[in-house]
Structure 1
């Protein structure tokens, strides 16, 4: 089963920042500069979490992984121009 998660990050060092962004680009869609939306299986989420933990310096960096329940996705509201992914339906297969 695929779970939708919103991942945000604040990374202090540019090299780590690029590594985090590149890792997340392979798992989901960039919504804003430091925000990704990913549809992940439990195993993929575990794998991604492990990869992200290895990339950060926990004394300087932070990553937030927030589940979004499918029934709440319709309640997400944007102000201004939303990214293209925000207007597309999300399907669980």
Structure 2
């Protein structure tokens, strides 16, 4: 499915399996700028179309396409997604939209 160019925010789950520890750390650090870390190689993101495309391009610039695998699950428009997560152990807190004043 081609990336959506719209700037409407969608909720995403990004999951990755990176074979090299150095590349894994680079992807992990990159993903911290795009979403909330859920566990080991899983992030929950809330992104507009442009940021989603930017994220995917940055990931592609790090991974080895013959050895690594990244899955980006589009859950739909962030405002319409009734995210229900069953979390065993550590509490899950969904990403909420909020203004950041700089």
TM-score range, shorter chain: 0.7 to 0.9
Aligned residues, how many?
Answer: 90
Q: Which runs of 5+ in 1 are unaligned?
A: none
Contact between 1:4 and 1:38, CA under 8 Å: does it hold in 2?
Answer: yes
- Kindly indicate whether the alpha-carbon contact (under 8 Å) linking 2:14 and 2:42 is maintained by their aligned counterparts in 1: yes
Equivalent residue for 1:25? 32
Post-superposition shift, 1:77?
3.2
- What is the CA deviation profile of residues 10-53 of structure 1, one whole-angstrom value per residue up to 9, with x for unaligned ones? 00001100000000001100011110001001000000000000
Name the TM-score, length of structure 1 as normaliser.
0.84
Can you list the C-alpha shifts for 1:50-72, whole angstroms capped at 9, x where unaligned?
00001000111000000112444
| RMSD, aligned α-carbons | 2.0
Q: List 4+ stretches of structure 1 deviating above 6 A.
A: none
> Could you tell me the TM-score, scaled by structure 2's length?
0.77
